[in-house]
A and B are shown apart, each in its own frame.
Chain A
């Protein structure tokens, strides 16, 4: 589902964020990406979502070699990936419902279908009763769950999350991680960058360790 072969990323500043990283995830896999801050976790996720392009190496997602994907193809590539951010990136002038509906609106669903799917997604994250609220009126745990609902509403085969529990207390963090486990159970391929080792070590999923842009865990596959 996600393949990286010897991928390096050097930024124009000269800083090498990733050096020769390989990894392979099959459909339905779930893995955690760990390492100190600046180890290259975010860069790796950005490469998969085509927010950045690799300097060297090959990336294939869902059987598609990303090097062959032109600018016009990028939006359609991203529709296969649900991305969850640490600061959840919600639109503050729209209701929870409208935020979650956005991927469906972009993908061109009809209003009835949008309503049905948005409510299903909000129900999964336990926020069905908040659909008319504005994001600012929610707690940060709730905002993060809205971000997750938005990422999964389109039922993408891949979920990427960058420090999804970074701002949350341990109980909320566990709750959020359990949500990811549920979506993985439902078949999604999930890759989560997190430095919360204490929490993720209890979840029984493989870890991909990065240090200064290199993989330092034993195996080549996740």
Chain B
């Protein structure tokens, strides 16, 4: 038990976490204006509600990253570790950690392809990222 933060869903975001429990990433999508993330029950452009949810491919590329040398909650045993921003193949940006490569700046390039996998935190599945082809798990 790492003691990492367990996401606190609200009624408006519960579907996101229900889908990750099935090891899938889903987000609300406005027919006119596209994906809505962080999840909200309405389109921030036109106000349409409710929105239908759709599944993302779980593929993406690294848009930015840092290597944290100070431990966040529950990360004491992982220092140093990557925090990354992923441009998903569909467009929305997600934050996560990167696993499956040595934790050095040289291991990562901007634009590097990654795919999602899921970390179980007390039954809540948190999206995480690894290079395409890696089989690393947590």
A binds B: no
| Residues in A lying within 8 Å of B, measured CB to CB | none
